[in-house]
Structure 1
Amino acid sequence: MNETILPPVPGGSDPRVNRVTLGHPWRWLAKGWQDIRSAPVYSLRYGAGIVVISALIVLLTVLGHLTFLVPFLTAGFFLMAPILAIGLYQMSAHLERGESPRHCQALEAVRRNQGQLGVATGFLFITMQLWILASVFLFIMLFHDPFPTWKNFIPVVVLSGQYTALLIVITLVGAFFAVCAFCISAITIPMLIDRQVDGFTAMRTSVRAVSLNWAPMLLWAALLVLIGGAGLMTFYVGLFVAVPLVGHGTWHAYRDLVARD
């Protein structure tokens, strides 16, 4: 696979990290699609569950007259996506070993390293909360009119041209949180269900994998955003396929990025 294995961190016990090429992200998607084809019922049913949950959250937000939070929650979806796809990683692990997928994949995955998965999930949740709080604070400080409704949010905030500064600042802040979240979670959750390591070791390994392979991982992040964004733009229906595709693909990204000692 044209990978270069790097040594462990001096004085530590962190797993070794491989160097990958710009061709690998495309291979991860191809392998993810193959996993969907190998277990379509399990994979697509998982995607359907994500669609239903996403739609319910948006519905509750609209009913609660908090529609201005929808864009921030959408961004939060990308931040929490690594943990939402945990069952898909377990499916790929079974398929990789030539085993049939089982029911309750997410529960099976959680039980493998429950405490440390809780640590990683806590970090992602805190990151998402900080992003939402920062966004709401910026919105309150820079948006002087009453909060827009769902119907006029895009015309008032995005298209009117009156809140360009608000959009720029929120975009920059969101990009900062997105980069942080991606670095600490790119391969953390798959690693925790595959190996008995602690959450901090997994997150350090994820940061090393991203920093040492910044170009391929930048491409991978862009592909994740494009595929996930396409799913969201179809009123969440596209997540039916998008989530399984990137979830299975992330498992294969982990397998190529972390050396199999």
Structure 2
Amino acid sequence: MAHTPEMERSPETLPANHGVPEMDAPNIAILRGALVSGWQDFKAAPVFGLLAALACILAGWMMVGVTYASGHTFWLILMVFGFPLAAPFAAFGTYEVSRRRAAGQRVSVGAVLRVMWGERNRQLPWLCAIMIVVLLFWFFLGHMIFALFLGLAPMTNISSSLTVFLTPDGVMMLGMGTVVGAGFALFLFSMCVIGLPLLLDREVDYVTAMLTSVQTVMAHPWVMLPWAIFVAGVCLLALLPGFLGLLIVLPWLGHASWHVYAALLDGPAQS
């Protein structure tokens, strides 16, 4: 049954669709179309995306302040590479905005927040908990990599000098950290690229959502991996101007991520 603007979903109402839907094969045209549709959604309903991005920016500034106050500025590197890992969760609200626009439903900050609040009783918190554990483990492992190569270096304060990274140990540390960080990013991307919108759209358990997402990425690596690299690269570039680039990038990619999922469904996202 098609949704109408009058059929608003309350926080207590579960999605009408149960189980994992059949999904079409992704292609580059779908990704391009998702970026265009995502930008249109952002322009049509920018408030929620801007609020989510602003929250991420404030969190980033706070983390920078803590690292400088503590004197452990090497944590900034881990934060910069770890920040995109949490981007899918931060953009979750934009999925609901795009879902509502596609279904012809009213879009407002209050309506979106009510749906997000209602997710606390479903499977989303479990997936978010896994994302947080992975992010914390990345910080722990990244710190170990830093200590392994540069722990005995006379200068490890990146706020006063970057020359430490030009030494052989510094180059090796950056190389290993990049490889390990890319592995973490790919792992989270594989879990979330389909898993997060699937949890919003369907009544499935979080394990099924994660497995479905990973299987999609593994089945179509030559399409999904370039998408992952694009998302990670744009997010990293958005961090350079004091995190302010996230005001545009985070909502845009959040909306686009929903459209990638919706385009892969064998039928409309909500039926």
Give the alignment's TM-score, normalised by structure 1.
Answer: 0.87
Alignment of 1:126-137 (within 5 A): 126-137=133-144
In the alignment, what sits opposite 1:148?
156
Alignment of 1:26-175 (within 5 A): 26-104=32-110, 105-106=112-113, 108-112=115-119, 114-143=121-150, 144-145=152-153, 148-152=156-160, 154-157=162-165, 159-175=166-182
Rounded to whole Å, the distance in 1 between the matches of 2:154 and 2:205 is 46
> SS where residue 93 of structure 2 aligns?
helix
- Provide Cα deviations, 1:89-139, integer angstroms capped at 9, x if missing partner: 111111111223222535522414634111111111121122111111111
Rounded to whole Å, the distance in 2 between the matches of 1:147 and 1:115 is 48
Alignment of 1:249-260 (within 5 A): 249-260=256-267
User: Contact between 1:231 and 1:242, CA under 8 Å: does it hold in 2?
Assistant: yes
> Is it true that 1:209 corresponds to 2:216 in the alignment?
yes
Residue type of the partner of 1:121?
C
Rounded to whole Å, the distance in 2 between the matches of 1:113 and 1:251 is 20
Q: What RMSD in Å do the two structures reach over aligned CA positions?
A: 2.0
Rounded to whole Å, the distance in 2 between the matches of 1:42 and 1:184 is 24
> SS where residue 67 of structure 1 aligns?
coil
In the alignment, what sits opposite 1:6?
none
Q: Which structure 1 residue ranges, 5 or more long, are not aligned?
A: 1-12
Q: Tell me the number of residue pairs that the alignment of Structure 1 and Structure 2 aligns.
A: 248
Residue type of the partner of 2:94?
L
User: Contact between 1:232 and 1:238, CA under 8 Å: does it hold in 2?
Assistant: yes
> Is it true that 1:20 corresponds to 2:35 in the alignment?
no
User: Deviation of residue 142 (structure 1)?
Assistant: 1.6
Rounded to whole Å, the distance in 2 between the matches of 1:107 and 1:216 is 34
> SS where residue 19 of structure 1 aligns?
coil
Rounded to whole Å, the distance in 1 between the matches of 2:61 and 2:208 is 35
Q: Percent identity?
A: 27
Residue type of the partner of 1:101?
V
- Provide Cα deviations, 1:38-86, integer angstroms capped at 9, x if missing partner: 1123333332232222222222222122211111112221111111111
User: Contact between 2:48 and 2:93, CA under 8 Å: does it hold in 1?
Assistant: no
- Provide Cα deviations, 1:141-191, integer angstroms capped at 9, x if missing partner: 22122562242353322x344422212211111122122111111121111
Give the alignment's TM-score, normalised by structure 2.
Answer: 0.84
